[in-house]
Amino acid sequence: MADLVTLPQTPGSRPARRQAGTGGARRSSPHSLSPRLRRNLSAYGFLVGGVLCFALFSWYPMVREIVMSFQKTQLGVTSWAGLANYRRIFNDPTFWTAWRNTVEFTLLALLFGFAVPFFVAILLNELRHAKGYLRCLVYLPVMLPPASALLLFSYFYDPSYGLFNDILHTLHLPTSQWVLSPGTRWPTAAMISVVIAATWMNMGGATLIYLAALQNIPGELYDAAELDGAGIVKKIRHVTIPQTKLVLSMLLMLQIIATMQMFVEAFILDGGQGVNNNTESVVYLIYQYAFAMSSASNFNSAAALGVVLLVVLGMFSGGYVWLTRTRDHLSRPRS
């Protein structure tokens, strides 16, 4: 039993006692949790689930891909291959053709798929009636499965009975082969056709994001610009674009990353390669290495090409973040 220690008394006070050796500290139940931990326990549970999902479906495949790019598999036996897979893909002539086509698709997608949704959002923002109906109409292609939308465009592009050639024939204009055009000179008609289909499929989401950003611009800025005699072009240049610069730059980065991974559009419209490989992309070449070639070791070459694409996109993302931080630092007022 612990000894009791009687503390010194002051006049008019009661004797105070405490247990010796405890220092006056209260003992807590060993089974109790701190209130802060109890409050955040559910949040920690959700966080663990998200981390496990990312680790299992994102981080582990990336690490596994990097490891496979340095290995060689033959007859079920895996061995170390060093840089042999990278030398193989760099010596493949199709590698450079695929990168040229991917860059061409990205640039054309920025020309159409980045500018068109922005101006469509400006048009919708200026309308007074039927805004909800038009928003639904613009976003409708995004709700369609990509295969369904591309099969629809495959019918439109058919050289024999396609809708687009019927319209051109009715207007007494020359018809086109569209995605089956054999030209390889930039920009090719086949790649432009693929970009048009991709823009129609994906512009709805970007349009709604732009529209939300436009509705947050104070109307007083447009009123002041109108008092200064600014027309619609000057309003867009001096008010709309500066006020939506953050959204524009973010969607620019996301669109470049997405278009560099183009696969399903060309795969469904023209089989992935087009005529003379004029629509073959890097991701389609990865598919070719992994599934369309006979040797099992091509999985390793596909992994090496995937790592190259990962490095390119990582360098672009890192450069974008660095430029954004530098620009914010320079624009910050100095005290």
* Neighbouring C-alpha atoms within 13 Å toward the C-beta of 181: 19
Phi, then psi, of 203 in degrees rounded to 5: -75, -20
Which residue from 116, 145, 107 is spatially nearest to 259, judged by alpha carbons?
A: 107
Asked if the model's pLDDT at residue 34 lies above 90, the reply is no
- 1 belongs to a structural domain: no
User: Is there a contact between 205 and 139 (Cβ–Cβ < 8 Å)?
Assistant: yes
Phi, then psi, of 297 in degrees rounded to 5: -70, -10
Task: Residue 106: give its domain's CATH number.
Answer: 1.10.3720.10
Helices (H), ranges, 232-297? 232-235, 241-243, 245-259, 264-270, 282-287
- 179 belongs to a structural domain: yes
CA distance 32 to 45: 18
**Looking at per-residue confidence, does 332 or 68 come out higher?**
68
Average pLDDT over residues 104-114: 89
Which residue from 154, 124, 129 is spatially nearest to 215, judged by alpha carbons?
A: 124
Torsion (CA) 285, 290, 293, 298 in degrees, nearest 10: 100
With a pLDDT cut of 70, the percent of the chain lying above it is 86
Asked if the model's pLDDT at residue 1 lies above 70, the reply is no
Q: Identify the band that residue 329 occupies on the pLDDT scale cut at 50, 70 and 90.
A: low
> pLDDT tens, 227-263?
888 888 888 888 888 888 888 888 888 889 999 999 9
- 235 belongs to a structural domain: yes
- 4 belongs to a structural domain: no
Asked if the model's pLDDT at residue 18 lies above 50, the reply is no
- 159 belongs to a structural domain: yes
Average pLDDT over residues 69-89: 86
- Considering its fold, how many domains does the chain have in total? 1
Average pLDDT over residues 312-326: 86
- 27 belongs to a structural domain: no
- 9 belongs to a structural domain: no
Asked if the model's pLDDT at residue 67 lies above 90, the reply is yes
Q: Identify the band that residue 24 occupies on the pLDDT scale cut at 50, 70 and 90.
A: very low
With a pLDDT cut of 90, the percent of the chain lying above it is 25
Average pLDDT over residues 44-61: 86
**Looking at per-residue confidence, does 177 or 14 come out higher?**
177
CA distance 20 to 2: 7
As given in the structure block, the two tokens for residue 183 are 């030209």
- 332 belongs to a structural domain: no
Q: What local confidence, expressed as pLDDT, does residue 75 receive?
A: 73
Average pLDDT over residues 118-146: 86
Domain with 114 in it: 95-298
> pLDDT tens, 277-310?
888 999 999 999 888 765 545 888 999 999 999 9
CA distance 313 to 279: 20
Among the ranges given (22-26, 75-79, 165-169, 331-335), the one the predictor scored with the smallest mean pLDDT: 22-26
CA distance 24 to 26: 7
What residues are paired with 5 via a beta bridge? 18
